[in-house]
Amino acid sequence: MQEIIQVLLFFIAAILHGITGMAFPMLATTSLAFIMPLSKVVALVAIPSLLMSVLVLCSHNQNGIYKDLIYYLKHYKLLAISSVIGSILGVKLLLILPSSWLYLLMAFITLYYSLNGLLNIYGKAKIISVNADNKNMFLFGFLAGIIGGATNAMSPILLMYLFSETNDRNRIAKASNLCFLLAKIVQIYMLRNQYLMLGKSEYGLIFLLTVFSIVGLYFGIWLRNKISARFFKLLIFVILLILALKIGYSGILKL
């Protein structure tokens, strides 16, 4: 029964990831963290997350996969490089700090950003906006890498920068998943000892979760261009709000 619930959660998270370009790493991580140590959960989620980021980058390419990838690497190289540097530090923190501290940090950042975004949509607050310059691109990539490496919650920090630069849904999805992809490579390498401790049943779970996640991802990608830009933002902020509350609750329980 527990595995069925996990597969369902991963499938739903993958649909939302296909639509928004985010959500899967955070939702998948929090759904497993109740029953496993955080470092083990991050290792389990990293493999399907990496594959899904590759698939997102290979979808909806206007000029072909190769040319689009070169374009995003060129345009967002500082965001990508700094997220990798931050991820190295984040994984080190994951292995050192109590998981409750990391959960509460992730919850605070996510809650603040999601509430501000929802209030902005309804005209009750100004959206968090930053200058889309090279300095901020590096800074936000670095911060996203630290948070993502430690907790799999890169999305809120990346979106603060990307929403300040563009409203293009595909551009936001591609740029964020480029950072996700590189961060997952770093995580998998640095957590290699965690993989050596996994049993056959856990590798079987990774395979099962990955298969269902890919199916959900493609369904979400198909839905992405069927929804309005306003609903796209609303969905992202609602997802982030729910995740923030769930993550915060997890952090309090682990104190």
pLDDT value at residue 123: 79
- The answer to whether residues 122 and 69 touch, using CB atoms and an 8 Å cutoff, is no
For 160, half-sphere exposure in the C-beta direction (CA atoms, 13 angstrom radius) is 23
Kindly state the tokens that stand for 56.
């997102």
pLDDT value at residue 1: 65
**Which amino acid, one-letter code, is at 188?**
I
- The answer to whether residues 198 and 98 touch, using CB atoms and an 8 Å cutoff, is no
- The answer to whether residues 176 and 17 touch, using CB atoms and an 8 Å cutoff, is no
How many other β-carbons are positioned within 10 Å of the β-carbon of residue 135?
Answer: 10
**Tens of pLDDT, residues 129-175:** 778 889 999 999 999 999 888 878 788 788 888 888 888 888 888 89
Instruction: Report the predicted TM-score, pTM, of the whole model to 2 decimal places.
Output: 0.81
Where does 58-168 have alpha helices with state H? 65-75, 77-96, 99-121, 134-151, 155-165
How many other β-carbons are positioned within 10 Å of the β-carbon of residue 117?
Answer: 23
- The answer to whether residues 196 and 210 touch, using CB atoms and an 8 Å cutoff, is no
Of 51-65, 123-137, 166-180, give the range with the top mean pLDDT. Answer: 166-180
Output the average pLDDT for the chain. 84
Structure-model confidence comparison of residues 253 and 229, the more confident one? 253
**Tens of pLDDT, residues 157-168:** 888 888 888 888
**Tens of pLDDT, residues 189-235:** 988 888 888 888 888 888 888 899 889 988 988 887 788 877 877 88
Model confidence at 30: pLDDT above 80: no
